[in-house]
Structure 1
Amino acid sequence: MTTPLDALPKIGAPAMRALKGVGYVSLSDLAGVPRSELAMLHGVGPRALQMLEQALAEHGLELE
């Protein structure tokens, strides 16, 4: 199932709170964001990053 660009994929609650806390509320908001920037957010670990990258790739997008 493809994650819509206007939503975030189903990742853990801490990662979701961290992303929304800094203004990332949709998958399209994450396109081009540096992976290292997201990795510094509390709650955004390797699994969440992998899920985000996979969801972006479904739309031909990627993190920086």
Structure 2
Amino acid sequence: MAKCLKSICAVSHVHQGDFLRGIIAMPARRALEKEKINSLEKLSDYSEKEIMQMHGFGKTTMEKLKTYMKENNTFFKGN
């Protein structure tokens, strides 16, 4: 039975992207992934207001994201 469970897990496992892993929570990361935003370069094409409208983004998440972007010399459009 262990072999069956192991093979089911291996088949159904979906690898999520690592972009911003450990920086912001999964709901916000999924929202970015849905919009095909998978790099800081692509993220910098958006304004802070546009990102705040996405699911999973609130004041705390945005502050974490802005801090990370600043550390990597990347900024939102219009900043």
What is the root-mean-square deviation of aligned Cα atoms in Å? Answer: 1.8
Assess if the C-alpha contact under 8 Å between 1:9 and 1:55 holds in 2.
no
Deviations 1:10-53 (A, max 9, x none): 21111011111111112232124200000000111111111111
Query: Residue 67 of structure 2 aligns with which residue?
Result: 54
Q: List aligned pairs for 1:1-64, cutoff 5 A.
A: 7-10=19-22, 11-64=24-77
The whole-number CA distance in structure 1 between the counterparts of 2:45 and 2:63 is: 15
1:56, CA displacement in angstroms? Answer: 0.9
TM-score scaled to structure 1, two decimals?
0.75
Change in 2 beyond 3 A, CA 1:28/1:9: farther
TM-score scaled to structure 2, two decimals?
0.63
Unaligned 5+ segments in structure 2 are 1-17
- Count of residues in correspondence between the two structures: 59
1:7, CA displacement in angstroms? Answer: 3.3
Unaligned 5+ segments in structure 1 are 1-5
